[in-house]
Amino acid sequence: MPSYPYVLLSAAVSLDGYLDDTTPERLLLSSPADFDRVDEVRASVDAILIGAGTIRADNPRLLVNSAERRAARVAAGKPEYPLKVTVSASGELDAAANFWHTGGDKIVYTTEKGAERLRREPVAADVVALGPELDWRALLAHLREVRGVERLMVEGGGTIHTQLMTQGLADELQLVLAPLFVGDPEAPRLFGPGGYQGGRLRLLESRPIEDVVLMRYAPTAPGTGTLPCAADRHWLALACELAELCPPSETAFSVGAVVVAADGTELARGYSREGGDPHVHAEEAALAKIADGDPRLASATVYSSLEPCTHRSSRPVPCARLILRAGASRVVTAWREPDTFVAGADGSGMLAAQGVDVLVLPEYEERAKAPNAHLLS
Ligand SMILES: NC(=O)c1ccc[n+]([C@@H]2O[C@H](COP(=O)([O-])OP(=O)(O)OC[C@H]3O[C@@H](n4cnc5c(N)ncnc54)[C@H](OP(=O)(O)O)[C@@H]3O)[C@@H](O)[C@H]2O)c1
């Protein structure tokens, strides 16, 4: 499973939801103190991405402006400026734009056709062609695995934000609401039409900054099938945190589990030996809190820090069977069951054989193992 960076979308919008007006000059939506906050966020990330449309419309430099913040980056062993990234299908990029001539390294992700054009009309950047079409997952995997980017800030425009949000690839939205109206239907909007998650996002923070308000939201809806989305990582991390709450045991694993509906509503959570029951497993504890026949279960995802068990001596029905009985269609786990108590358990295989989509995210394996270290030595 490829790794992606943490993806943070950043934008300022008018009260009527526009990113800009239609005049040639860029509309300043943020307040001075908020521009400084954005500078701080830029200084904290490994890379900043904008769409080719924003390069054409705004001709931004996309720098960390504060000399102190740049010095702190260097002192921490990072490049003075974050990597600047753009995406263009056409490869029609102005070689004289500020983007290419300021800051540190630059990279353009494009299509084969775009790369061909950039060979004829080059820009001062590395060019990576991702195939006939640009695939966001391939782009994020390349940034993480080849360029070492762990935190990516995306500063628009709306076309880019819409794609990352509808594809479930944004970990966080940092939205600033500015107290002005644009009122022009031709102006670019933050989010266009698309298949967004059904339910509510999670508010992480809200804060007035001079006359604007910063809101930080995280998507909540699980992915579909065996493709991971950003919210899957959040929920699996929560399952790993729950595993830390388990009363210690020498004879059973410490596991956390969360059951989440398709719209991102948390249905239940649980952990091993919860509530003084020495035998209860995490998935069992969570599923027991959901009414039988709850219609949301059919499209729910079960997150479990350790794959659901297939054999247990303490109770007649193992957790993989409980999940099948409950009718949940998707399981996301961090760690395949080792042979400590049961040889060849393979809960993932059992679930997959019954048509459940099973996804293992090994980037969380160490966190899942941590409360079980005494059983693994
Ligand atoms: N208020 C804010 O915070 C803020 C921030 C940023 C931007 N903005 C505003 O947003 C507006 C620009 O937004 P926009 O939506 O027009 O442009 P955009 O999102 O910046 O860029 C769109 C361009 O990116 C490339 N692209 C997008 N998706 C792609 C994909 N899947 N594969 C390959 N290439 C892809 C295409 O480039 P090619 O055409 O080259 O193929 C496309 O035309 C400007 O008015 C700007 O001022 C506001």
Mean pLDDT, the chain, rounded, equals 96
The CATH number of whichever domain residue 361 belongs to comes to 3.40.140.10
Q: Report the nearest-CA residue for atom 38 of ligand 1.
A: 88
Question: What are the start-end ranges of the H helices in the chain?
Answer: 32-44, 52-58, 67-75, 98-101, 112-120, 136-145, 158-166, 230-243, 282-287, 319-326, 347-353, 365-369, 373-376
Which pLDDT tens digit goes with each residue over 301-316? Answer: 999 999 999 998 888 8
- Statement: residue 377 has pLDDT above 80: no
pLDDT, tens digit, 9 for 90 and up, residues 247-265: 999 999 999 999 999 999 9
Give the dihedral sign, CA 53/87/150/140: positive
Pocket of ligand 1 (CB under 6 A): 11-12, 19-20, 26, 29, 50-54, 57-58, 87-90, 92, 134, 155-160, 163, 188
Residue 357 included in any domain? yes
Ligand 1 pocket: which of 30, 54, 189 to mutate (most atoms within 8 A of CB):
54
Euclidean distance between CA atoms 170 and 158, whole angstroms: 14
Residue 131 is predicted with a pLDDT of 95
Does 1 map to a domain?
Answer: no
Q: What is the pLDDT of residues 199-218, one digit of tens each?
A: 999 999 999 999 999 999 99
pLDDT score of 69 more than 90: yes
Tell whether 235 and 324 lie within a shared domain: yes
Ligand 1 atom with the smallest distance to the CA of 187 is: 45
pLDDT of residue 315: 85
Residue 2: pLDDT band (50, 70, 90) is confident
The whole domain housing 256 covers 230-376
Of 218, 247, 272, the residue that ends a domain is 218
Whether the pLDDT of residue 328 is over 80: the answer is yes
pLDDT of residue 312: 86
**Is the domain of 206 the same as that of 331?**
no
CATH number (domain holding residue 36): 3.40.430.10
Residue 313 CA: distances (Å) to CA of 285, 304, 342, 348: 17, 20, 10, 19
Residue 128 phi, psi (nearest 5): -120, 115
The pLDDT value recorded for residue 71 is 98
Domains: count for the chain = 2
